[in-house]
């Protein structure tokens, strides 16, 4: 089980309010996409959920418990970044197992979890390589593997595919959707790419200037955009 609620969630930097009162429900096992133009607050909102940014107003609830002040490591989440952030001196296996090592998991358990995740991600034959000897798509899979080994209830992705070329992006999109099925996890995925949003999401959250313009399924947004902004952004006529 992993659901998440935001109630009037806000973030200010000094006098500047960048998240201006967000109300949102993310259901167990849902694939939710935050979409919107650059600078609208997607990453900030995701980082507030992850605990990497302090929430300055309103509430975050995870599985019914207020989580505003819960330590990031205790929220049951794992985040995958756009920039991969792999350790260059470590092998794939070491990169994937590092968080477990820090958490004090035994080498045998670490090894088993890393092998299981590598199997799912088709990285089993690459476990001894270093990041510099991997393709972009393989590096991205290692970054995802690092999240999977921690067995999180909720995965958070911040534009994970934006450094990949177009063909690879299409592949990785499908792979992530398969992964979502297979892991039966709740996923929140940030992108500025409408096509990614439309093809991957159960629920799309359209953000603009720190506010939600509309929440709905891809079909709902396409057929019944709430306003000109959503219509323009999603690309349907209105």
- Positions in the binding site for Mg ion (CB under 5 A): 43
CA distances, 118 to each of 72, 112, 134, 211 (Å): 25, 10, 14, 38
Provide, rounded to whole angstroms, the least separation between the CB of residue 136 and ligand ADP: 21
Rounded Cα–Cα distance for residues 197 and 187 (Å): 13
Q: For ligand ADP, which residue of 31, 43, 198, 201 counts as binding (CB under 6 A)?
A: 43
CA 2, chain centre distance (Å): 14
Instruction: Select the binding partner of residue 38 from Mg ion, ligand ADP, none (C-beta < 5 to 8 A, by kind).
Output: ligand ADP
Instruction: Select the binding partner of residue 141 from ligand ADP, Mg ion, none (C-beta < 5 to 8 A, by kind).
Output: none
- Considering only residues 165 to 184 of the shown chain, the ones binding ligand ADP according to CB under 6 A are none
Provide, rounded to whole angstroms, the least separation between the CB of residue 70 and ligand ADP: 21
Tell whether residue 15 is a contact of ligand ADP (CB under 6 A).
Answer: no
Is residue 188 within 8 A of residue 49, CB to CB? The reply is yes
Tell whether residue 139 is a contact of ligand ADP (CB under 6 A).
Answer: no
Give the residue with the Cβ less far from ligand ADP, 19 or 96.
Answer: 19
Give the residue with the Cβ less far from Mg ion, 43 or 214.
Answer: 43
Give the residue with the Cβ less far from ligand ADP, 28 or 58.
Answer: 58
Rounded Cα–Cα distance for residues 121 and 129 (Å): 15
Task: Quickly list DSSP for 49-107.
Answer: HHTSS---EEEEEETTEE-TTS-GGGSSEEEE-TT----TTS-HHHHHHHHHHHTT--H
Q: For ligand ADP, which residue of 24, 26, 33, 41 counts as binding (CB under 6 A)?
A: 41
CA distances, 141 to each of 136, 158, 225 (Å): 9, 14, 34
Q: Which stretch binds ligand ADP (CB under 6 A): 38-46, 61-69, 160-168, 196-204?
A: 38-46
Tell whether residue 42 is a contact of ligand ADP (CB under 6 A).
Answer: yes
Q: Tokens in use for 62?
A: 């995870």
List, in sequence order, every residue forming a beta bridge with 204; answer none if it has no partner: 33, 216
User: Computed over its alpha carbons, how large is the radius of gyration of the chain?
Assistant: 18
Tell whether residue 18 is a contact of ligand ADP (CB under 6 A).
Answer: yes
Residues that bind ligand ADP (CB under 6 A): 13, 16, 18, 36, 38-44
């Amino acid at each position: 089980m992993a659901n998440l609620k935001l109630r009037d969630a806000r973030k200010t930097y000094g006098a500047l309010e960048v998240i201006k009162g967000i109300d949102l429900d993310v259901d167990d096992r849902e694939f939710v996409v935050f979409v919107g133009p650059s600078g609208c607050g997607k990453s900030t909102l995701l980082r507030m959920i992850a605990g990497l940014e302090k929430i300055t107003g309103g509430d975050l609830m995870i599985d019914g418990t207020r989580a505003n002040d819960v330590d990031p490591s205790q929220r049951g989440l794992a985040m995958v970044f756009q920039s991969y952030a792999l350790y260059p001196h470590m092998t794939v296996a070491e990169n994937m197992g590092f968080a477990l090592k820090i958490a004090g998991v035994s080498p045998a358990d670490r090894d088993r979890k890393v092998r299981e995740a590598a199997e799912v991600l088709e990285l089993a034959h690459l476990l001894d390589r270093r990041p510099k000897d991997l393709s972009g798509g393989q590096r991205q899979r290692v970054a995802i593997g690092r999240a999977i080994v921690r067995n999180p209830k909720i995965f958070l992705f911040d534009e994970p595919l934006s450094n990949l070329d177009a063909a690879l992006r299409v592949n990785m999109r499908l792979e992530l959707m398969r992964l979502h099925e297979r892991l039966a996890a709740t996923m929140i995925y940030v992108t500025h790419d409408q096509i990614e949003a439309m093809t991957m999401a159960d629920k799309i959250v359209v953000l603009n200037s720190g506010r939600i313009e509309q929440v709905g399924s891809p079909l709902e947004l396409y057929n019944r955009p709430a306003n000109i902004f959503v219509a323009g952004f999603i690309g349907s006529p209105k």
